[in-house]
Amino acid sequence: MSQTSETSEQPGAPAAPVPPRVRRALDAVFRLLYPGEEGVRDSPRLRRESRAFAAAVIAAAVALVTGLIAFHGPVPLWGAVSPGSVGIVLSAAAAAIAAVVEHLRSPIPPAPGWPRGAVRAQAVVNALAIGLVHAGIAILLVGITTSVLIRGFMGLEVDAFTSIMITLLLSAVSAYAGTLSGGDLTTTRLSTLFAVFMTGGVLVAMLTTSDAEWWQLHFSELGVGDGLSGIVFNSTLIVGGMLMASLGSLIARSLAVWASAAPPSRTRNVRLVQWAFLGIGIGLAGVGLVPVNVSLIVHNTFATGMAVIFGALLIGLRWVLDGFSRAFLLFSDVVLIGIAVSALLFWPIQYYNLAAFELVAAGIIFAWLIIFLRHLDAAVPAGAPAAAPATAAPATAATATAAAPQDSVGA
């Protein structure tokens, strides 16, 4: 086992060194069990894999103790005390805790220029969003798996040992995956979590709603009431809004790096893009916090504000991201036209209802977000350092003027 001192993957993040006595004892045990020299170099990725394995062992131990207390005889796959219900709770907790702990080792960089209080609030929101998203995805996957097994093995009951092993494996896998997913979050990975969580949450709300005719009204009808469907739908929107705000911080850093290497521009302002994502996140969370049956006016205000911000972002991209990929800017115009055509098909043409329009618009927006982040990752220079806050500001006229002679000389 390598004796290289473990360091944090992110500059500025606190390190958690292993005590020397513990390290020497572990080295002695490993040399006794495996006398050969270790041929794998120490690296941040390898250390994360080791932490993921340790998290899985801890989660398995907790599941073992919980199973010994909860299971004492044959039980069905799903019930008040069953491997399905206990496994969902333990998996959600393991995934959330593991993801947050790993995230705190290399947190999302704060937004440039924000005051200290706002930076702390942003860090709390980021940690909550990451933990809740991983818990929600774990609940979704374990719930679907349990549902399939229940329908495939009707009437099956499992003994205490099997129940304990099921919950143990579910908890260990969730902790392992949460650790690997929660560290060094990138825009692409965070957007993938956002898409999976939002899609899964809305699908579960659709499948569990007691109102079979909700689709004749609008998607917000899924959030009406205190049933499982309403809780799932509103919670999905709230956590999705928090994650969208976190995504805005990552986008701002990547855009700042791109802007620092791009030709000067008088109109470029990447901070407006960050504020737009923050506004969309607040609007999305507000739609979930205030369901349509609580206050129609407030609910529609959040929804309309979110739509207006996104539309303004699409229109203004050619200026605030001057110099960005022209192919993507053209695609953004196509998206704007697509949403406008969909709105016309809803009203005044009345080709389909509001729920269908919301579904089409959501699909178009998801596609735009994914392609935007892919273009952003491709636009950032390989190996570029983290951007300084000053690079987030638009280039001044003086900068553009100073650059002109250099271009003429190079020509």
Of 191, 4, 170, 146, nearest to 92 (Cα)? 170
Whether 180 is covered by a domain: the verdict is yes
Whether 269 is covered by a domain: the verdict is yes
Q: What number of CA atoms fall less than 13 Å from residue 67's CA on the CB side?
A: 27
Rounded distance between C-alpha atoms, residue 280 and residue 302, angstroms: 9
Rounded distance between C-alpha atoms, residue 108 and residue 172, angstroms: 26
Q: Which residues pair with 75 in a beta bridge?
A: 158
Same structural domain for residues 69 and 164?
yes
Predicted pLDDT at 40 = 67
Q: What number of CA atoms fall less than 13 Å from residue 336's CA on the CB side?
A: 17
Whether 27 is covered by a domain: the verdict is no
Same structural domain for residues 88 and 117?
yes
Residue that terminates a domain, selected from 124, 155, 185: 185
Same structural domain for residues 276 and 368?
yes
Predicted pLDDT at 118 = 84
Whether 14 is covered by a domain: the verdict is no
Give CA separation, 332 vs 73, 309, 338, 340, in Å: 59, 14, 10, 12
Q: Which residues pair with 158 in a beta bridge?
A: 75
User: For each successive 10 residues of the chain (411 residues), what is the average pLDDT?
Assistant: 41 55 81 77 84 96 97 93 96 97 88 81 92 95 92 92 96 96 86 91 91 90 89 95 89 88 90 92 95 93 94 94 93 95 92 91 90 88 50 38 37 31
Whether 59 is covered by a domain: the verdict is yes
Rounded distance between C-alpha atoms, residue 280 and residue 241, angstroms: 7
Rounded distance between C-alpha atoms, residue 277 and residue 244, angstroms: 6
pTM, rounded to two decimals: 0.81
Rounded distance between C-alpha atoms, residue 297 and residue 291, angstroms: 10
Of 182, 180, 43, 51, nearest to 107 (Cα)? 182
Whether 294 is covered by a domain: the verdict is yes
Same structural domain for residues 244 and 273?
yes
User: What is the residue range of 104's domain?
Assistant: 45-185
Predicted pLDDT at 396 = 37
Rounded distance between C-alpha atoms, residue 318 and residue 297, angstroms: 33
Q: What number of CA atoms fall less than 13 Å from residue 345's CA on the CB side?
A: 16
Same structural domain for residues 199 and 159?
no
Rounded distance between C-alpha atoms, residue 101 and residue 51, angstroms: 10
Determine contact, residues 285/236, Cβ cutoff 8 Å: no
Whether 212 is covered by a domain: the verdict is yes
Element (H, E) at 371: helix 354-379
Same structural domain for residues 165 and 310?
no
Helix (H, G, I), strand (E, B) or coil at 226: coil
Same structural domain for residues 282 and 151?
no
Residue that terminates a domain, selected from 138, 160, 185: 185
Whether 411 is covered by a domain: the verdict is no
Give, to the nearest 10 degrees, the angle between helix 83-105 and helix 160-182: 20
Token pair for residue 333? 């115009």
Of 178, 192, 159, 11, nearest to 97 (Cα)? 178
Predicted pLDDT at 18 = 63
Helix (H, G, I), strand (E, B) or coil at 7: coil
Same structural domain for residues 274 and 355?
yes
Predicted pLDDT at 409 = 33
Q: How many CB atoms lie within 10 A of CB 330?
A: 11
Predicted pLDDT at 392 = 36
Same structural domain for residues 270 and 292?
yes
Same structural domain for residues 173 and 234?
no
Predicted pLDDT at 383 = 57
Same structural domain for residues 230 and 352?
yes
Residue that terminates a domain, selected from 137, 155, 185: 185
Helix (H, G, I), strand (E, B) or coil at 75: strand
- Domains contained in the chain, number: 2
Predicted pLDDT at 112 = 67
Predicted pLDDT at 129 = 93
Determine contact, residues 269/163, Cβ cutoff 8 Å: no
Same structural domain for residues 119 and 135?
yes
